[in-house]
C-alpha cells in the first residue's frame, strides 16, 4: 500500500542534512534505502548500502520520486540452469 498523500513523501532527515552540507563531489554514504529522492538530491553521488556493500548511485532528474533502494540491487542474477552436454560412453 502506498504512503498517505497527506503525510507527504518519506525523506530521511539525516540524508537531507548531509546533502546540504556536501559541497564537494564526494560520495554520501547512506543506509536509507526507503528514502525517496527529492529534487534537492539531483547531481549528487550517493553510496547506497545493499546489505553487503555500498553501491555508487549518481542521482539524475529522472530518478526524482523513486526510492534509493530501487537503484542498489540486493540480489545477483546468475542465470537459469545451464545446458550440460553429457557424453554417453559405449562399452
Nine cell digits for residue 72: 542498489
Q: Please tell me the class of the 13-71 domain.
A: alpha beta
With cut-offs at 50, 70 and 90, classify the pLDDT of residue 75: very high
Enumerate the β-bridge partners of residue 30: 48
Burial of 57 (0-12, 13-18, 19+ CB in 10 A): buried
**If residue 55 lies in a helix (H) or strand (E), which one and from where to where?**
strand 54-58
The pTM of the full predicted model, rounded to 2 decimals, is 0.80
Residue 23 is predicted with a pLDDT of 85
CA–CA gap between residue 42 and residue 63 (Å, rounded)? 8
Torsion from C-alpha of 73, 70, 59, 57, nearest 10 degrees: -10
Per-residue pLDDT tens over the stretch 9-66 = 999 999 999 999 998 889 999 999 999 999 999 999 999 999 999 999 999 999 999 9
Amino acid at each position: 500500500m502506498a504512503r498517505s498523500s497527506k503525510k507527504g513523501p518519506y525523506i530521511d532527515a539525516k540524508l537531507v542534512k548531509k546533502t546540504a552540507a556536501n559541497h564537494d563531489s564526494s560520495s554520501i554514504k547512506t543506509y536509507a534505502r526507503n528514502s525517496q529522492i527529492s529534487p534537492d538530491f539531483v547531481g549528487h553521488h550517493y553510496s547506497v548500502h545493499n546489505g553487503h556493500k555500498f553501491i555508487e548511485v549518481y542521482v539524475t532528474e529522472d530518478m526524482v520520486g523513486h526510492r534509493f533502494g530501487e537503484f542498489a540491487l540486493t540480489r545477483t542474477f546468475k542465470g537459469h540452469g545451464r545446458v550440460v552436454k553429457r557424453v554417453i560412453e559405449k562399452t
